[in-house]
Amino acid sequence: MNRVAINFDECKGCRLCVEACPKNCLHIGNRINKIGYQHAEFDSEQCTACGICFYMCPELGAITVIKEDKKAVHHE
Amino acid sequence: MIKHTKSKSFYDTFERKGPGQKVTHYCPGCGHGTIHKLIAQALDELDVQDRTIVCSPVGCSVFAYYYFDTGNIQCSHGRAPAVATAMRRVHDDAIIICYQGDGDLAGIGTTEIIHAANRGENLTVFFVNNAIYGMTGGQMAPTTLFGQKTMTTPTGRTMAQDGAPIGVAEIINAIKSPVYVERTSLGTPGKIQKTRKAIKQALQNQVEKKGFSLVEILAPCPINWKMEPLQARKWLQEHLEPVFPVKQFRDNSDELIQAQFSTKLPWKSDEEVLDYFGVNKEQKQVKQEKEIEEQLVKFSGFGGQGVMLGGVLMANCATEEGLNATWLPSYGPEMRGGTANASIIISQDSIGSPVVDFPNVLIAMNGPSLDAFEEKVHAGGTILVNSSIVSQKISRSDVTAVYIPVSDLASEVGMIAGANIIMLATYLLVSKIMDINTLRKVLPESIKKKQFVDINMKMIDKAEEYFKEHLS
Ligand SMILES: Cc1ncc(C[n+]2csc(CCOP(=O)(O)OP(=O)(O)O)c2C)c(N)n1
Ligand code: SF4
Ligand code: SF4
Ligand code: SF4
């Protein structure tokens, strides 16, 4: 499945990714991270790995988008 | 498969920001981070990270060098295009980026950007227009909108008080030389993609040596706009975009642009540079017979006292004797009557920086010079004072003080302006670093007005006389 890995401690909780995701895969959770922000979390099976959240996010390393490797799954 | 992740043109950790740091210094929702990402990605894709130099501005992005794992140089306010031009002249193949804000580029730096664009420099400029001075706390920028409230326009910008918001892309587009001019926005994901393409094109143009490209990017400053990040993106679209139309103004990057001249200076080797300036190429072996203490000299006085010439002569004596030397002048705002000083370094080693903040030799030709530099002299250093003019005594006990009435002595010889030469000669005699006869040798070559050579030679004799009688 496609997914988004968030480095929680690099997130400033600005919500830009949350609002931009066309599939509503992201939300701001309740946990407060090391730099004092409630950070974004990913929890969805709908992610298309479109990368919109990645480009929207102002932090340089907060978001990584991982696309399911269909072939790899096939070979298993 | 990883589809999008942190660019390899960024450092893994931002050690310059602080040990182990991984987050930027930007406020939540700021536009700078996204723009950094788009630039870094283009550098990755064009495979030019290793030859890229990012010129960071003064403004919130002053610390771009925390993040970009490229060459970096932090420029004075607004001067990035001038710094970049200089680098262009010596690095044909460097990819040079000017990253500038609206205060930086459209305010204090208008001269530099206009002329770099007009010369068609092979550079890429990213102009981040957030319609405000971010770093300094939200003052009006040249791009601030009518009615926009800022710290310096508390009731909103008006035409009568402040003039109109300035369109940088339009101005650059009015100049013939640039190859590529575009304005984009960070308002929506789609517009960010357009920005991504424009940034890459503007860099590609430089890689292909096509000339000057500028991308103006409308970006939010949520903090100083006093808005939540999401609200700021909305405001950007509703207010900034109508005033600053998002569009491509020019794209000549498909045209084959024949380089009319090489922007690199026409010299190929150090040899040729020396030839050009008529410098004696014989590499002198640096004199090593006796160890000398590196001399960090401040030669200071008021304009017209000849401290600059004194400094030049001192440095010339040093190189004549096979020592290394630098000379760096510093003038006050006024040419005559103001303070002036020269920094001279004399060493057997290579000299890194010519700046002397803490001298071990201070030559004070007047009182203000002593006031300004006495405290900065290294313990164990020497202070030579023109006691004709300076009545006060040195208050420090950890330095050697030498008082010489050089102005009086010079008058006795017949020209008060010769005091600098008497002072220099006395320094040579006291320090014993260089021979007094070396000064006799270099002085005639170093003085432009040859009619003054003779009288200045007499100043040296006078200094020697005085030294023998009073100081040895
Ligand atoms: C010569 C000089 N003048 C003024 C300043 C003060 N100063 C620092 S940043 C800045 C404006 C920055 O605004 P902008 O270029 O829009 O960048 P932003 O911070 O918004 O990204 C000013 C005026 C300075 N540092 N140096
Ligand atoms: S990659 Fe696209 S679909 Fe997936 S979380 Fe990000 S924005 Fe949503
Ligand atoms: S855009 Fe980035 S910083 Fe903002 S909430 Fe999402 S992950 Fe966090
Ligand atoms: S003050 Fe504005 S421009 Fe500066 S970091 Fe904060 S949001 Fe960005």
Mutate to test the pocket of ligand 1, among B30, B79, B133 (most ligand atoms within 8 A of CB): B133
Q: Which of A5-19, B274-288, B294-308 has the lowest mean pLDDT?
A: B274-288
**Is B28 an interface residue toward A (CB < 8 Å)?**
yes
> For residue B44, what pLDDT is reported?
98
* Candidate from B5, B22, B29 with C-beta closest to A10: B22
Q: Which residues of chain A have pLDDT under 70?
A: 71-76
* Candidate from A10, A19, A69 with C-beta closest to B23: A10
Contact, A51 vs B3, CB < 8 A? yes
Q: Which of B8, B22, B27 has the most A C-beta neighbours within 10 Å, making it the best mutation to test the interface with A?
A: B22
* CA B261 – CA B312 distance, rounded (Å): 37
Place of tokens 């014993």: B432
pLDDT per residue over B121-174, tens digit each?
999 999 999 999 999 999 999 999 999 999 999 999 999 999 999 999 999 999
CATH superfamily of B31-251: Thiamin diphosphate (ThDP)-binding fold, Pyr/PP domains (3.40.50.970)
**Is B105 an interface residue toward A (CB < 8 Å)?**
no
> For residue A70, what pLDDT is reported?
75
pLDDT per residue over A24-42, tens digit each?
999 999 999 999 999 999 9
Q: How confident is the model at residue B289 (pLDDT cuts 50, 70, 90)?
A: confident
Q: Cβ contact (<8 Å) for B28 and A14?
A: yes
Tell whether the model's pLDDT for residue B203 goes beyond 70.
yes
A3-75, which class in CATH? alpha beta
Share of chain B above pLDDT 90, in %: 85
First to last CA, chain B: 82
CA distances from B262 to B82, B107, B275 (A): 17, 31, 20
Atom of ligand 3 nearest to the CA of A53: 1
Tell whether the model's pLDDT for residue B54 goes beyond 70.
yes
pLDDT per residue over B229-265, tens digit each?
999 999 999 999 999 999 999 999 988 665 554 566 6
Element of type H or E holding A53: helix A52-56
Which of B193, B187, B148, B142 shows the shortest CA–CA distance to B168?
Answer: B142
Share of chain B above pLDDT 70, in %: 94
**Is A52 an interface residue toward B (CB < 8 Å)?**
yes
> For residue B284, what pLDDT is reported?
64
Residues of A in contact with B229 (CB under 8 A): 14-16
Q: Cβ contact (<8 Å) for B229 and A49?
A: no
B193 to chain A, closest Cα gap in Å: 8
> Number of A:B CB contacts under 8 A?
88
Cα-to-centroid distance, B135 and ligand 1 (Å): 6
Phi, psi of B290 (to 5 degrees): -120, 145
Phi, psi of B185 (to 5 degrees): -140, 155
CATH superfamily of B291-471: Pyruvate-ferredoxin oxidoreductase, PFOR, domain III (3.40.920.10)
Residues of chain B with CATH 3.40.920.10: 291-471
